[in-house]
Structure 1
Amino acid sequence: MSFQAYLDNIQTKTGKTPTQFRSLAAGKGYADAKGLKPGIKAGEIIAWLKQDFDLGHGHAMAIVALLKGSKKEGDK
């Protein structure tokens, strides 16, 4: 499955776009325009995404990769 397919599945399940997840993460203090804030661990974000959006581990990791900037929309 491509990275974009993960993002599409997440949007279908949650109704949230990648841009909205970036904004939500910024609002929670996890990220800013540059990416994840220093000291923020992936586990914190994964726990939030599992609890608030019922995402599985793999889909939550896709959002973490998006927030870190290691992956972007359209990546395979």
Structure 2
Amino acid sequence: MIGQLNITYVIYLDNIQAKTGKSPADFREMAEEKGFTQNGELKAKAGDVTKWLKDDFDLGHGHAMSIYALLKGIKKEDGK
């Protein structure tokens, strides 16, 4: 089951990049510029991050939460 979740997460990131043209590194950089992170450490609430991603990139909630997990350090690009 865990392996399936990791694969799903990686697929989410791939789909986000296909839709937005932005890589995980791009989202990290933009989050830093917006003040959501400082030196790579998340400082914003999930709701603020997901609102930004939904409003600016038209992401659904699950995809926005995938980027939040990436920014928070819960997940990495490889799903681990």
Under a length normalisation based on structure 2, what TM-score does the superposition of the two structures give?
Answer: 0.86
Q: In 2, distance between residues paired with 1:32 and 1:18? A: 16
The range that moved more, 10-19 or 27-36, is 27-36
**CA RMSD, Structure 1 to Structure 2 (Å):** 1.2
How many residue pairs align between the two structures?
Answer: 74
Q: With CA pairs under 8 Å and 6+ residues apart, which has the higher RCO, 1 or 2?
A: 1
Per the alignment, residue 16 of structure 1 pairs with: 22
Gaps of 5+ in 2: 1-6
Q: Does the alignment pair 1:74 with 2:78?
A: yes
Higher CA-based Rg:
2
Query: After the TM superposition, which parts of structure 1 deviate over 3 Å for at least 4 consecutive aligned residues?
Result: none
Under a length normalisation based on structure 1, what TM-score does the superposition of the two structures give?
Answer: 0.91
